[in-house]
């Protein structure tokens, strides 16, 4: 094990610095040094004890961590916000402040976020070609019809040249409003809100309840839990299966 070789991009991703894809970009750009020497060869094999730097940053291995978090309303999911808005990092404890969100939820939305320092995992979950199902419970103004659901499935142009798709079913009617379960395979900005607005049914509340095999079970708003090894294995196996099917 002393002289074990590992691909440079895999090593960089294992530190949580970025994904393998992004690591390849750094390598091709000549920004990566191994033991002081610039490496621009994709597929370069290194020893795990080699000293790796990207620009002026020393890249060190770290333990990979995964949590699921029940985001409350009123917070955005970026690590820093130039506009001074509240972010989830204002309320997350220090022990998980280094973790990055996988995807996003807008300020007014609640529900499941996965956060991790595993760059490859983030890339796998968010890459548009993998099509990981994300399930939402949505309350919308007015009474939606089966025709509305058909239009959502066929696709709605939410921006010029940008078609959004969603699979939806009506769970119940609450007075004059409709409660829906909506499944997305895309990750477009404010996708559900824009689709329903176009149909004339603005969103009252929106909660994400699952991403792939990970859900909100056992979590209260504002609470997080570490993913157990079994849960990590399940979601990674699921992602591997989706990748083979595409």
| CATH code, 172 | 3.30.70.1560
Phi and psi, residue 98, nearest 5°:
-85, -5
Are 103 and 199 in a shared domain? no
Number of domains in the chain: 3
Residue 21's pLDDT band (cuts 50, 70, 90): confident
Average pLDDT, the chain: 92
Are 226 and 192 in a shared domain? no
Q: Give the pLDDT confidence of 182-199 residue by residue, as tens digits.
A: 999 998 899 999 999 999
- Is 148 part of the annotated catalytic residue set? no
> Residue 132: which of 88, 186, 174, 85 has the closest Cα?
186
Are 207 and 162 in a shared domain? yes
- Domain carrying residue 138: 134-211
Domain boundary among 59, 75, 92: 59
Under 8 Å between Cβ of 76 and 85: yes
Are 140 and 202 in a shared domain? yes
Q: Give the pLDDT confidence of 83-129 residue by residue, as tens digits.
A: 888 999 999 999 999 899 998 999 999 999 999 988 889 888 988 88
1, pLDDT greater than 60: no
Under 8 Å between Cβ of 232 and 66: yes
Q: Which residues contact 127 (CB under 8 A, 6 or more apart)?
A: none
Are 51 and 72 in a shared domain? no
pTM of the model: 0.81
CATH of the domain at 44: 3.10.290.10
Q: Give the pLDDT confidence of 26-82 residue by residue, as tens digits.
A: 999 999 999 999 998 988 999 878 999 999 899 887 788 999 999 999 999 987 777
Are 53 and 91 in a shared domain? no
**Residue 217 CA to its chain's centroid (Å):** 18
Are 120 and 142 in a shared domain? no
Are 201 and 162 in a shared domain? yes
Are 122 and 16 in a shared domain? no
Using DSSP's 3-state secondary structure scheme, residue 90 falls into helix
Domain boundary among 17, 34, 59: 59
CATH of the domain at 87: 3.30.70.580
Are 139 and 207 in a shared domain? yes
Are 41 and 71 in a shared domain? no
Both tokens of 121, joined, read 């995992």
Which of the residues 50, 106, 197, 215 is marked catalytic? 106
Q: What mean pLDDT comes out for the span 164-187?
A: 96
What's the CA gap between 170 and 207, in Å, rounded? 15
Are 116 and 19 in a shared domain? no
């Amino acid at each position: 094990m002393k002289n074990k070789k590992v691909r440079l991009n895999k090593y960089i991703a294992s530190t949580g610095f970025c994904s393998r894809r992004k690591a390849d970009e750094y390598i091709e750009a000549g920004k990566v040094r191994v033991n002081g020497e610039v490496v621009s060869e994709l597929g370069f094999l290194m020893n795990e004890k080699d000293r790796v730097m990207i620009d002026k940053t020393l890249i060190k291995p770290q333990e990979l961590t995964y949590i699921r978090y029940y985001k409350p309303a009123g917070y955005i999911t970026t690590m820093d916000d130039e506009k001074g808005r509240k972010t989830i990092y204002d309320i997350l404890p220090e022990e998980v402040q280094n973790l990055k969100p996988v995807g996003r939820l807008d300020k007014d939305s609640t529900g499941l976020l996965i956060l991790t320092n595993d760059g490859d995992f983030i890339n796998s979950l968010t890459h548009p070609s993998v099509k990981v199902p994300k399930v939402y419970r949505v309350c919308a103004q007015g009474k939606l019809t089966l025709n509305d659901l058909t239009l959502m499935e066929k696709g709605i142009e939410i921006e010029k040249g940008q078609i959004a798709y969603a699979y939806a079913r009506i769970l119940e009617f609450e007075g004059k409003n409709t409660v829906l379960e909506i499944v997305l395979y895309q990750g477009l900005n404010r996708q559900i809100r824009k689709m329903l607005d176009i149909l004339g049914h603005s969103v009252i509340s929106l909660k994400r309840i699952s991403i792939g095999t990970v859900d909100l079970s056992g979590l209260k708003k504002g609470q997080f839990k570490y993913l157990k090894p079994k849960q990590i294995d399940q979601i990674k196996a699921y992602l591997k299966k989706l990748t083979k099917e595409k």
